[in-house]
Chains A and B, each alone.
Chain A
Amino acid sequence: MPRNSKKTRVIWICFFIYIIVFFISIGIGRYYVSIEDIFKILVSSVLPINQTWDPAMERVVLYIRPSRLFVGSLVGASLGLAGATFQGLFKNPLVSPDILGVSSGAGFGAAAAILLGAGAVGIQLSALLFGLLAVAAVYLIYKAFRSPNILMLALAGIIVNGFFSSALSLTKYMADPNDTLPAITFWLMGSLAAADYDDLMFMIIPILAGSFGIIFLRWKINVLSLGDSEAKALGVNVNRLRFLLVLFATVITAVSVCVSGTIGWIGLVVPHLARACTGDNHSRLLPFSCILGALLLIILDDISRSLTGAEIPLGILTGIVGTPVFALLLIRQKRIL
């Protein structure tokens, strides 16, 4: 048997902590709800008990906060999982889910939609569309290089990233500095403040599909990360596997980004933290990155809701917390890159 029960146990412990944090987080925010009330309201939805609470509180506990927490969990899990997947794919632990241009494409898509006066749904769809378009462009350019070298895929990513960040600058330059420009800037900071039940319904199917796709292939990523020729010698259809992984990781990242805006560092730091607990074997690393990503993101979102009177955009917080954590991790780990 695989001798790794200790490393597997870590995954379950983290999942357990996640459940507890999720439960407590329902009460955290400007509208505070005590754990006792959360418990009572949750029970009351199954068993008839005397209502001792405000009906507004019930709405917060049963709909508003859980929607946001589920959206946050999906975003965190997706970014963690996509980060770990891209790191395995590129055989490089310094890669983040942005490498193939999803975020810059989505950023441009959102900014262009804001500029054209689109509503919330329009902005989301435009972000999603351009996020996916950016990665499709990266893949086409990579194919045009006619080189099987995975570094050429990263290079294509740099090219498309460069294009879309310039295009984004253009939309900002054209935007009205009084209202449109701040809207674009806020979108780019990333936030879950507007996340609601509709977002959850919109995200859940593509993210579950993409995530399960990756989780099913998790062991093959180990083989792929040995190197292309080694993987091929072991009977792996390298091109097909790589395409599927890019597709799944792109879908979950794009769907997340279009709902939350750009949230940096989670996709880089979470897989690293996860590596420290479960090791590099993707069989454990990928599920753990999912859970850890979800856990960290809802904790950070709790902080963004409650630290000050007005919400701090989540993307700012992930950067401020993520960067020192990442530095510490690299200092403490034995790995030599």
Chain B
Amino acid sequence: MITYTADNISFAYPKGKLVLKDINMSVSKGTVFTILGTNGTGKSTLLNCIAGQLTPLSGNVSIGGKSVKDMTVTEFSRHVAYVGQMHYPVFAYTVREVVVMGRTPYLGMTGSPRKSDYEIADDMMDLLKISQLAEKSYLEISGGERQLVMLAQALAQTPDFLVLDEPTSHLDFGNQIRLLDIIQNVASEGYGVILTSHFPDHSLMFDHTVGILHNGSFISVGPAKEVITEQNMQDIYKIQVSVSYNDILMRKTCLPKGK
């Protein structure tokens, strides 16, 4: 089983103090790792370090035992797909053209996507139920749809691991839950998923691993059911929450009580 591992990652922006301190984490294929934490606590920075966007000050990231430092950008992108929070498209590519860009790691320097690449892109749009958007301009769809398109692109990359920065942030109530479903399906098909979230309850739905990031370090890592406790949530978010078993949903839930 291939694992995606971060050993003792530390990071600071130029002339800044440490944003991440000795982070250790490990994700196996087929599992979901949710990173929770308050705004500005380093979640996105951590994802950027893991996903090769930023180079850690110290520590090592490896995939299946091979350090990412020994991989080319292209080789890395065949293992890991990263979807950032928001980007601002300028050109009116069709959704299909954007999704097929996920095939870039397999095309070589001067290549263009082939028929088989378009087929993979079409499959991924089917999987995310966005095929009806295929010929629409990427500029004219909503922010939530764009998020799904970027996810389809990441899946078209056929990586081992998906790194998703707040994948539900621009989605409506229904699409949030549908996306969580998709992520769970994707994980059960063998992808490893690392994501950040602002919803502790979502990680209880996944029922996989959770890490709580606070001031640049994990203060608690483990199975969601054990990490999402009233005490932990109150400590980091400074609000009262209720973590209890819901008989109808047949799972633990985490709901805010208010201040």
A residues whose Cβ falls under 8 Å from a Cβ of B: 1-3, 88, 91-93, 216-220, 222-223, 225-227, 229-230, 232-237, 279-281, 283, 335
A3-B135 CB under 8 A given contacts A227-B87, A281-B97: yes
9 A-B interface contacts by CB (under 8 A): A2-B118, A3-B96, A223-B104, A234-B153, A235-B75, A235-B78, A236-B74, A237-B72, A281-B97
- Is B102 at the interface (CB under 8 A from chain A)? yes
User: In the complex, which of the residues B87, B102, B111 contacts A219, with contact meaning CB atoms closer than 8 Å?
Assistant: B111
- The distance from the CB of A10 to the nearest CB of chain B, in whole angstroms, is 16
CA distance A234 to B82 in the complex (A): 8
In the A-B complex, the 5 residue pairs with the closest CB atoms: A235-B77, A280-B91, A235-B105, A235-B74, A216-B110
Of B81, B101, B110, B135, the contact of A222 (CB 8 Å cutoff): B101
Q: How far apart sit A335 and B88, CA to CA, in the bound complex (Å)? A: 14
For B, the interface residue count at a CB cutoff of 8 angstroms equals 42
For the residues of A in contact with B, the DSSP-based class is loop
Say whether B84 contacts A235, CB under 8 Å.
Answer: no
Q: Give chain A nearest CB distance to B131 CB in angstroms.
A: 13
Pick the most buried of A216, A233, A235: most chain B CB atoms within 10 A of its CB: A233
Would A225 and B105 count as touching, CB distance under 8 A? Answer: no
- With both beta carbons as reference points, the residue of chain B lying nearest to A285 in the complex is identified as B91
Contact assessment for B104 and A236 in the assembled complex, using a CB-CB cutoff below 8 Å: yes
User: B94, B102, B118: which contacts A234 (Cβ < 8 A)?
Assistant: B102
Nearest-Cβ distance from residue B48 to partner chain A, whole angstroms? 8
Whether A1 and B115, one on each chain, are in contact in the complex, defined by CB atoms closer than 8 angstroms, is: yes
Q: What separation, in Å, do the CA atoms of A229 and B86 have in the docked complex?
A: 11
Contact in complex: A219, B112 (CB < 8 Å): yes
Find the A residue at minimum CB distance from B88.
A227
Q: Do B73 and A226 touch across chains, with their CB atoms under 8 A apart?
A: no
* Interface presence of B51 (CB below 8 A): yes
A235 B76 Cβ-Cβ under 8 A: yes
Also in contact, A225 and B91, with CB within 8 A (given A219-B111, A219-B112)? yes
